Structure 1
Amino acid sequence: MTFSTVCVVGLGYIGLPTAAVFAGRRVNVVGVDVNREAVETINRGEIHIVEPELDIAVHAAVKEGYLRATTEPEQADAFLIAVPTPFKRQADPDAVPEPDLSYIQAAAESVAPVLKRGDLVILESTSPVGATEQLAEWLAGARPDLSFPQNAGEAADIRVAHCPERVLPGRIMHELIENDRIIGGMTPACARAARDLYRGFVRGECLLTTARTAEMAKLTENAFRDVNIAFANELSMIAERLDINVWELIQLANRHPRVNILQPGPGVGGHCIAVDPWFIVSQTPDQARLIRAARNVNSGKPDWVVEKIKVAVAEALQSRPDARAADLSIAFFGLAFKPDIDDLRESPALDIVEKVARDHPGKLLAVEPNIKTLPETLSGTGALLVSTETALADADILVALVAHRSFVAIDRAALGERTLIDACGLWSGKSA
C-alpha cells in the first residue's frame, strides 16, 4: 500500500514526534489535537513539549509544508491514534485502577466521519488487551456503510491495527526510527498494511502479530521493567533499615557476571511503566500477583521518601530548640519523572513535593530546570520554582529526586553540612 497523507490524532509526546518523522519523509501529515494552543504553536513551526531534536524536525516539516496541525481530523489514507489512556477515578484508593478508554472512543468518533474505503486505522496508545477490537467496534457503530475486520475479516473496507510505541523520552526521535516495531493487525491484511506504512521510516525490524499480542507485548515490556525497578526500590528500603549504603551494595552485587540490579529511585513515573502493569492486573487479578506486588512497592516508595523528610525535619528541630517547623525550608531537586525531560506525568518526585506541601508550614523550593512554571497541583501550596543557586543558598534540607545533568554537576562542597536526602543516587551520601 502507498500512503500520501497520514492523519495523527494526539500531538503529545508520541504523536508529535511520529508526525514529524513521517513529514520528514515527505509524507503529508495532518496533526490533530484538542489543545488549540498546541495546534497554534505547531503551525508556527514550534513545539509545546521538550524532546531533543524534535524542535528542528517540526520546524523543517512545517516550513516545507508537509506538516500542519488542526483541531479536527481530515481525510487521509492512514489514521494514527496516539491519545492518553489514563485511569478512571475511584473512590477506593486500594482498588485496582481501571483503564479509561474515553479518549480512544472520542478519537474514534472524530475520525469515523472522514473514513473512506481502503483506509488504515492504527491505535498507538498503550492500551489494555482488547482495546483495538473495541476501537473497531466504535468505528463500525459510527460508519455502518463501511465494513470492518471484526465482521468482514480480510475483505474489510477499513483495516485496523495496534502498533505500540516503544521509545524512551529523551531519545524518541532516534528510537522511533531505529527500534524494532511490533505490528498487530486484527487480520493478517491489517498487519501487512500497517507494516507498509511504518516501513516508510522504521529501520528496525517490523514484527507482525495479532492486535491482542501486540497490546500485551507493550504491557509485558513495561511490567518487566516495573518488577526490576521494584526489586531495587525494595532493596533500598531494606538497606536503610540495616544501615547499609544501597548504592555501594548494588555496585558490588553487580560485579557478579549474571547480576544486573537497577538503581533505586523515589518511585516510578511516566505514562508507561507506572500505568501499564495495572492494565494487566485489572484484567487478570488472580494471576498477576508478582506484577501487582511490584506495582505496590513502586507506588509506595514516594510515601517512604516523604516519611524520611518528616524525620529529617523532626531531627532538625531537635538540634535547634528555638526553631519552628515554619522556619525550616526544604529544597527539592527535580520534578520530572526521569532525568533531563519536562514530562511530569505520574512523576513520583512531584507526588512527594505535593504530599510534603500538605503538612510542612515552611518554605518549599522546587528546582526543575526543564519547566517554566509549577504545575497546577502545586498552586496555592506556597511552593516556589527557583534556580539551583537559590535553593542551595536558602534551604535547610536538600532532597534529591531526579538526577538531571545540571544537578550532577553541582559541586559537593556547595551542599555544605545541611541534611541531605538522596532518593536517586545523585549525591550518594546519606542516601535513600
Structure 2
Amino acid sequence: MPADVSLKVSVIGLGYIGLPTAALIARSGMNVLGIDNNARVVETVNSGRVHIEEVDLDGLVQGVVARGNLRAATQVEASDVFVIAVPTPVAEDRAPDISYVLDAARAVSTVLKAGDTVILESTSPVGTTEAMRDLLAQLRPDLRMPRDGAASPNAADIAIAYCPERVLPGRILVELIDNDRCIGGITPRCARKALSFYRQFVRGQCVTTTSRSAEMVKLIENSFRDVNIAFANELSVIAEGMGIDVWEVIRLANRHPRVNILQPGPGVGGHCIAVDPWFIVHSDPENARMIRMAREVNDGKTDYVVSHASDVIDELPGATIACLGLAFKANIDDFRESPAIKVAHRLAKRYGRRVKLVEPHIRDVPAEFIGTGAELIDLDDALESCDILIVLVDHDIFKSVPVAERLNKIVYDTRGIWPDQPKSSAPAPIRAVS
C-alpha cells in the first residue's frame, strides 16, 4: 500500500536494526527521525554516512538523508509513530535487562499525544510490552492506555504493539522488507494499527496476534536455532574424540531426506541466539531444561576450542599463531557475543605477542586486546609469517586460500572451511585438526 507521507516516525536506537529500519521507512517517503544517545552516531547519520557495515546500507542512508526524509538527533520529538529498537542484554546472572526499553519509554512519554502508536521491536522477555504500557500509564495519566479485555478497547488514546525483526546480517535490507512479520498488540485494535504502519514498507505477510505471543515467537525462533547448533557442536566434540571427521559425517547424514544438521563452530555469537534463550530460561527455569542445556553446550564449545588450541600451540614453543576471524559470523563486522573474540582473547592473554589477529572488517585492534601484545595483521602476512592458523570465522576471504599457501602450517579449523587441508602438512607429532 502507498506510504502515508504525512506520518512522522521516530526510531529510537540507531544500531544494527534501528538504522536500517529507519532508512527503509524513510525510503517509503515518510519523515523519519532517528534517535540515539551517542552523539557521534547522530553526527555520522546526519552527514549521510553509516557507523555499521551492512550491504547497501551506506547508499540508502546517503540517499534518504540527502532527500530530507531521514535525520538524527539525541532527543525525542513529537511523532505519530515511535519504533523502539534498543538493546536488551542479559545481566551476569542471566536475568534479562529491559532497562534500555523502559528508558526509551520514559523519553517517549515526554512527547506522547493522543492518537500515537508505540511499537517495541527489541527482542524482549514475555511481558515487556505490557511493562512498557504500564510505565507509560504511570508517566502519562492524562492519556488512556490500551488494556486487554477492557470493556471499551477502542477508548484508548495510544496504540501499543510488539513486532520483532527476523533478519540475517548481510541481508538486513532485503529481509526487513521481504520477511513475514509477527505483530502483537496489547489489544486487537493496537495490532491492527501497527499492521497498517508496517504494510506501508513491508512486502512480506504481516500476521497479528497478542503482544505476549509475539514476544514468545521471537524467543523460540532464536532458541530453535541455538538448540540445533548445540547438537552440531556436541557432535563435533564427540567425533573429535573418536578420530572422526565431523564435517564428513554431517555432510553424509544430511543426505537423508529428513535430516538437516547445522554446522558446528567455536560457539554461538551475536546479540540474538547467544542471549535470547536465557529470557525463556529465566521465565521458567524448571521447565526450560533443553534450552538451558543448549546454551551451556554452546558456551562450553568455546572453552573446548581454547583448550584444544592451547594443546596445539604448546607442542610448538615459540610458534607464531594467527587467529583467523573475530566477528560472530562470516562476512560482517558485528562482534557482539562473538565466540571468536573470546577464544582469541584468551589465547592472547596466555601467549601474548605470539598471537596475531586477522579480521578484514576492522582497522584497529579491539579494545579488549590492548595490553595483551596481540597484533592485527592482514591475511597475506599471516600466511607468510605464522606457524599456526586457527580458523574461527568462515569469512569468504579465508575460504579462498589455496592448499599451497597452507602447506607446512599447523591448522586448527573450527569452521570446516578447508576440508582439503593435507593431514600430513603439520610436522609430527601435530596433525591438522578440524
Partner deviation per Cα, 1:93-144 (whole Å, 9 max, x = no partner): xxxx001111111111111101000000000000000011111112122211
Residue 145 in structure 1 maps to residue 142 in structure 2? yes
Asked if the contact 2:353–2:374 (Cα under 8 Å) also holds between the matched residues in 1, the reply is no
The match for 1:380 is 371
- Aligned equivalents of 2:335, 2:433: Cα separation in 1: 23
Match of 2:66 among 60, 63, 67: 63
Q: Distance in 1 between matches of 2:367 and 2:146?
A: 43
Tell me how far 1:413 sits from its aligned partner: 1.2
**In 2, Cα distance between equivalents of 1:228 and 1:281:** 17
- Residue 400 (structure 1) aligns with: 391
1:22 counterpart residue number: 25
SS in structure 2 of the partner of residue 76 of structure 1:
coil
Contact 2:352–2:372 under 8 Å retained in 1: no
Match of 2:87 among 60, 80, 84: 84
Distance 1:374 1:279 in 2: 32
The TM-score normalised by the length of structure 2 is: 0.94
Q: Provide the residue aligned with 1:324 in structure 2.
A: none
- How far apart are residue 362 of structure 1 and its match? 4.0
State the match for 2:38 in structure 1.
35
Count of residue correspondences: 417
1:260 maps to 2:260 = yes
Q: Partners in 1 of 2:10 and 2:143 — Cα distance?
A: 19
CA contact (8 A) 2:267 2:298 kept: yes
Q: Determine which of 404, 410, 417 is the counterpart of 1:413.
A: 404
Aligned twin of 1:111: 108
Match of 1:350 in 2: 341
User: Residue type matched to 2:236 in 1?
Assistant: S
Deviation beyond 6 Å, 4+ runs, structure 1:
none
State which of 330, 335, 345 in structure 1 corresponds to 2:326.
335
1:425 is paired with a residue whose SS is coil
* Separation of aligned partners in 2, 1:328 and 1:131: 51
- Structure 1 residues 149-172: Cα deviation after superposition (integer angstroms, max 9, x where no partner): 138643211110000000000000
Note the 1:92-171 alignment, pairs <5 A: 97-150=94-147, 153-171=153-171
**Distance in 1, Cα, partners of 2:242 & 2:11:** 52
Matched-pair contact (CA < 8 Å) for 1:331–1:366: yes
C-alpha separation in 2, matches of 1:115 and 1:374 = 43
**Structure 1 residue 377: Cα displacement:** 1.3
Local SS of the residue matching 1:114: coil
For residues 54-110 of structure 1, the C-alpha deviation after alignment (integer angstroms, 9 at most, x for no partner) is 1111000000000000001111100000000011234xxxxxx00111111111111
The one-letter code sitting in structure 2 at the alignment partner of 1:368 is E
Q: How does 1:136-285 map to 2 (within 5 A)?
A: 136-150=133-147, 153-285=153-285
Q: Secondary structure at the match of 1:281?
A: helix
Mapped contact 1:46–1:58 kept (Cα < 8 A): yes
SS of the residue aligned with 1:121? strand
Other-structure match for 1:309: 309
Verify the 8 A CA contact 2:353 2:372 in the aligned structure 1: no
Query: What secondary structure does 1:138 align onto?
Result: helix
Task: Supply the distance in 2 between the matched residues of 1:388 and 1:361 (Cα, whole angstroms).
Answer: 19
Asked if structure 2 preserves the Cα contact closer than 8 Å seen for 1:245 and 1:431, the reply is no
Report the Cα offset of residue 316 of structure 1: 1.9
Question: Tell me, what secondary structure is at the counterpart of 2:123?
Answer: coil
Deviation at 1:185, TM superposition (A): 0.2
Counting only pairs closer than 5 Å after superposition, residues 38-57 of structure 1 correspond to structure 2 as 38-57=41-60
Shift of the alpha carbon at 1:328?
2.3
- Aligned 8 A contact 2:352 2:374 in 1: no
1:5/1:76 contact within 8 Å kept: yes
SS of the equivalent of 2:416 reads coil
CA deviation after TM superposition for structure 1 residue 375, in Å:
2.1
User: Does structure 2 retain, via aligned residues, the 8 Å contact 1:25–1:200?
Assistant: yes
Which whole-Å CA distance do the structure 1 matches of 2:350 and 2:145 have between them?
A: 54
Structure 1: stretches of 5+ with no match in the other structure: 91-96, 318-326
Alignment check: 8 A CA contact 1:246 1:431 kept: no
User: 1:374 offset after TM fit, Å?
Assistant: 2.4
Q: 3-state SS of the aligned residue for 2:110?
A: helix
Distance in 1 (CA, whole Å) between partners of 2:314 and 2:196 is 62
Question: How far 1:384 sits from its partner (Å)?
Answer: 1.3
CA distance in 2, matches of 1:362, 1:20: 42
TM-score of the two chains, using structure 1 as the length reference: 0.94
Q: Are the counterparts in 2 of residues 425 and 431 from structure 1 also a CA contact under 8 Å?
A: no
CA distance in 2: counterparts of 1:101 and 1:374, whole angstroms? 31
Structure 1 distance, partners of 2:189, 2:367, is 46
Alpha-carbon deviation of 1:27?
0.4
Q: Secondary structure at the match of 2:316?
A: helix
1:94 — aligned with what? none
Question: Offset at 1:361?
Answer: 3.6
Distance 1:143 1:374 in 2: 46
- Partners of 1:51 and 1:353 lie apart in 2 by 24
Q: Distance in 1 between matches of 2:245 and 2:381?
A: 29
Q: Confirm or deny: 8 A CA contact 1:7 1:30 kept in the other structure.
A: yes
Aligned partners of 1:431 and 1:276: how far apart in 2? 32
